């Protein structure tokens, strides 16, 4: 009987050690999920910042185009190109945020299906914006990204000599 209480204590220590180990795994998973959630929030904030800065810069470029050419049509074209490129770039960043959040934070079947729907909608929006901005299907034009569209709008506003 003297050894039975010692075995119970050793067994209790083993259970305590396993509980502590399981608790540390859960804490590590929780801290990883929290970190990835913060990364996703950072991407979302970056997407919002791109939108705000892009809207402001789009109007500045439109005013510069209007002042240099005196043509409101050219200013409108520059505004559409610059803001459309801003929207494309922001959509790409926001899709990255959704991917991080779904894959790293909570990869459930429902979340993956919702992500698929969000990506499908944003892809359609990006495609529609590219066709609207360029007047041509994406595979029939030379530009490949929202940033390139913004650059083209800036060159149109400032003229080919200034950059």
Total of domains in the chain: 1
36, part of any domain: yes
Distance CA 140, CA 131 (A): 10
* Greater model confidence, 130 or 61: 61
Whole-number mean pLDDT of the chain? 78
163, part of any domain: no
Domain span at residue 52 reads: 3-158
Question: Can you read off the two tokens belonging to residue 81?
Answer: 């190109």
Whether residue 153 has pLDDT greater than 80: no
The pLDDT value recorded for residue 108 is: 82
Q: Give the list of residues 6+ apart from residue 86 with CB closer than 8 angstroms, or none.
A: 50, 51, 53, 54, 55, 57, 58, 146, 150
Whether residue 162 has pLDDT greater than 80: no
149, part of any domain: yes
**pTM beyond cutoff 0.75:** no
Rounded percentage of the chain residues whose pLDDT exceeds 90: 22
């Amino acid at each position: 009987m003297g050894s039975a209480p010692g075995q119970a204590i050793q067994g209790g220590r083993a259970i305590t050690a396993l509980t502590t180990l399981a608790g540390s795994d859960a804490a590590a998973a929780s801290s990883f999920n929290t970190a990835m959630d913060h990364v996703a929030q950072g991407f979302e904030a970056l997407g919002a910042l791109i939108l705000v800065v892009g809207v402001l810069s789009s109007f500045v470029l439109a005013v510069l185009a209007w002042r240099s050419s005196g043509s409101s049509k050219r200013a409108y074209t520059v505004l559409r190109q610059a803001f459309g490129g801003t929207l494309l770039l922001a959509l790409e960043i926001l899709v990255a945020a959704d991917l991080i959040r779904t894959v790293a934070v909570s990869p459930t079947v429902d979340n993956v299906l919702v992500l698929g729907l969000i990506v499908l909608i944003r892809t359609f929006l990006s495609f529609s914006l590219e066709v609207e901005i360029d007047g041509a299907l994406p595979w029939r034009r030379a530009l490949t990204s929202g940033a390139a569209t913004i650059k083209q709008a800036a060159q149109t506003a400032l003229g080919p000599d200034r950059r």
